[in-house]
Amino acid sequence: MAIYSPGDFLGTDRDSSAHKTDWDLTMKYRTKFGSLADYEKGKVIPIDDNPKNYVFSNIFEVANKSAPYERVAVAKNLEYVIEVARAEGVSPWYTAAHDEFVLDMDGTVEVELVKLDNPTEFAPADSQGARKLPADPAGRKMGRLVLSRGHQGLLPRGSAYRFKSVSQACLMIQTVEGPETVQKWAEICQNS
């Protein structure tokens, strides 16, 4: 049985790298969180392949280069997409025929929710993706969510929602590809 001191796990108490275990070496890494104001763009480094075979983008860079509340796809699996949006000011109202999820990656955002009187008027039951409403929704107020970095919220089907942000924020939205999904793959992905 081995007994370790806290310094052993940081790799600071041992003089010889020959004595370091895989555990010691992995503990040297530190997570650095990005933000709209401070991020480092990474890249795919394939060993024996073409980088064009991979999709890679930085959500903070995508949000910075997009218009407020432009929902840009950054990941796709079949019909499902992860959209990134820069929150700034008040968004239009949206609805969907299915649940969606929003994850706040930076900043603070308020999400207003309204239970629609007629949910299929703007998002028929068989429709996919978010749809922008032409005007304020008719329905009963459901409440609001206040999200900050790392907080996730449910955007339930049959409801309308809009985002409000006093300062810039970055949102990731899990949804199905639809009319509000903007695809900029050639612009946002590493291509060499």
Quote the DSSP letter at residue 79.
T
In this structure, are strands 108-116 and 100-106 parallel, antiparallel, or unpaired?
unpaired
Q: From CA 153, how far away is CA 173, in angstroms rounded? A: 10
The continuous run of DSSP H or E covering 63 comes out as helix 59-65
pLDDT by position in tens, the chain (length 192): 444 344 444 444 444 455 556 555 555 666 667 777 776 776 666 677 766 665 556 888 899 999 999 999 998 888 899 999 999 999 999 999 999 999 999 999 999 999 999 999 999 999 999 999 999 999 999 999 999 999 999 999 999 999 999 999 999 999 999 999 999 887 877 665
Q: What one-letter code names the amino acid at 52?
A: K
Q: From CA 163, how far away is CA 46, in angstroms rounded? A: 38
Q: Note the pLDDT of residue 58.
A: 83
Q: What is the token pair recorded at 114?
A: 């309204």
Q: From CA 45, how far away is CA 146, in angstroms rounded? A: 38
Q: From CA 114, how far away is CA 59, in angstroms rounded? A: 28
Q: From CA 180, how far away is CA 183, in angstroms rounded? A: 10
